[in-house]
Amino acid sequence: MADVFTKNKRSEIMRAVKSYKNKSTEIKFISILKNYKISGWKRKYKLYGKPDFVFLKYKVAIFIDGCFWHGHACRNTKPKSNYFYWKNKIHRNMIRDKEVNIVLRKQGWIVLRIWECNLKNKTITRFINRINKFIADKGCRKIV
């Protein structure tokens, strides 16, 4: 079926669509934090790059990245329509992610990124160990 909008109008409409966080993955991550009895985290903390979770005491910023939107090759999903638009958009997201990492690290933050597929594949134990390693490297006590 042909699109009822012109190419420019459809592009304008799509640019205007803004996501308000990825709630299902964040809710899944919250349940994991509670399951491991991890406390001290905050959501929606105003920090450059808008991390999904922040541990202020340890200066740890956690981003839960959607595999498609941030260019993870786990599912190898490629859009069939408007391929170059999506390829460029995802590439820009990846560049922005790197920039956010650099800025926050310069400010003394530990930046951790978790792929959406890791939450689904239950590889979270590795992530918990990663958090604890970073915390130990900073000379703080472990979270778990």
Domain spans in the chain, listed from the N-terminal domain onward: 20-137
- 93 phi/psi in degrees, rounded to 5: -60, -40
Alpha-carbon distance of 25 to 119, in angstroms, equals: 7
Residue 141 has pLDDT above 70, yes or no: no
Average confidence score pLDDT of the chain: 80
Q: Which residues lie below 8 Å from residue 72, measured CB to CB, with a gap of 6+?
A: 65, 115, 116, 117
pLDDT tens sequence across 86-118: 889 889 999 999 999 999 999 999 898 888 888
Considering the segment(s) 20-137 as one domain, its CATH architecture is 3-Layer(aba) Sandwich (3.40)
Evaluate whether 100 touches 76 at the Cβ level (below 8 Å). Answer: no
DSSP code string of 30-54: HHHHHHTT---EEES---TT--SEE
Structure tokens at 7: 């190419």
* This prediction's pTM: 0.74
- Calculate the alpha carbon distances from 102 to 27, 66, 75, 114, 136 in Å: 27, 20, 27, 17, 21
